[in-house]
Amino acid sequence: MKILVTGAKGFVGKNLCAQLNALKEGKDHRFPDLAVDEVFEYDIDSTPEELDRYCAEADFVFNLAGVNRPENPEDFKKGNFGFASQLLDTLKKHSNRCPVMLSSSIQATLIGRYAGHPYGESKKAGEELFFDYSKETGAKVLVYRFPNLFGKWCRPNYNSAVATFCNNMANDLPIQVNDPSVELELLYIDDLVDEMLAALQGNEHHCEFDGVDTVLTTEGRYCAAPHTHKVTLGQIVELLEQFKAQPQTLVIPEIPEGSFAKALYSTYLSYLPKEKVSFPLKMNVDPRGSFTELVKSANVGQVSINISKPGITKGEHWHNTKWEFFIVVAGHGKIQQRKLGTDEIIEFEVSGDKIEAVHMLPGYTHNIINLSDTEDLVTVMYCNECFDSNRPDTFGEKVCNSI
């Protein structure tokens, strides 16, 4: 399949082309039945000759070209309607009736606060142009009215509040929110690209509109990505403040699969300046080695790394409810545990050459011993709860008197 993407250098175009090229190069195996042979990337700096050739050969067209903020309002129609006419005329010239997707906007509903705006009017005109083209030629037309989009590579200080907020928060710039209660409907770029790849296979989702609300229906005139998020500006800012504080708190906010928080966190990270990509961790160092907390979570505990010098024993304590995994990743050591009130000791010889996880059981005093005379013992430690100095749940007691 040969695919033409217009507006290939824009936010959506870059993300779509990256995924299409990954499919073409055999790097994405999620769509085994989707064969991409060529990706034609067309943008404002492309030539008319290139557009002519692409329209002659394309098996599917994604028309993402458009104007959002021109200096002259009249350029809305020129950029959104004019190019669409040129594209369709070129397809007709070559009698190419391949499916064509149009990226429109929810502002094309022309109701409420959008009524009479030249951007919305140009988008609405473009939609009708495509529907008329379908009637005339019999070509399949897919018209998507996008809500607010966000994700990596979205241009800040342009037409996305999320991009602006992420960029400014990541770069220590001020943000302005006049009304935190304002709610946005947001579509994450990965969810949009997944929908567009589904459309390539004839599995697009159809919809109608109840005002500006999308109503999915198999008989709908329009198309839509089925998964969007409705969040307030205040909620967005609150999450971004948590993300920004993570290098200090080490707390990873809750980011469930499919959640807005997960998508926003990935988006925020994509705006970090290079000096913030890495950050120092507090190493608690003493003659025995070091202990460093890596990450924490409000509900599922924390991960730390422990380094023991040659011949050193650490631990010699027990917990009531707290439990841990000890995972030796370098060196050679031994883990010992003894159930309180008994003399029976269970032992595990551990090594970075054979990585395994060992439970530290509640009610068992335990230790970890570096058996090497020359090498450090490096252990990744997971604990089911974050350390609370007011309630440490840690009580000293040797595993055996010979240690």
Looking at the annotation, which residues are catalytic?
A: 119
**Is 146 within 8 Å of 192 (Cβ atoms)?**
yes
Question: What is the layout of strands, in order, in the sheet containing 332-339?
Answer: 345-351, 332-339, 364-370, 313-318, 395-396
* Rounded Cα distance, 120 and 115, in Å: 7
66: which strand partners? Answer: none
Q: What does the buried/exposed string (b/e) look like for 204-221 if buried means 16 or more CB atoms within 10 Å of the residue's CB? A: bbebebeeeebeeeeebe
Contacts of 167 by beta carbon, 8 Å cutoff, 6+ apart: 156, 157, 173, 271
Tell me the residue ranges of DSSP E strands in 309-363: 313-318, 324-330, 332-339, 345-351, 357-360
The candidate with the shortest Cα–Cα distance to 114, out of 127, 123, 103, 126, is: 123
Q: Which residue has the tokens 């028309």?
A: 63
Structure tokens given for 251 = 């707390």
- Angle between helical axes of 233-249 and 161-170 (0-180°, round to 10): 20
Structure tokens given for 280 = 């120092």
Secondary element (H or E) of residue 127: helix 118-137
- H-type alpha helices, 138-285: 161-170, 189-200, 233-249, 260-269
Whole-angstrom CA distances from 146 to 101, 203, 325 are 12, 18, 46
Fill in the amino acid letter for 387.
F
* 3-class secondary structure, 395: strand
Structure tokens given for 325 = 């995994």
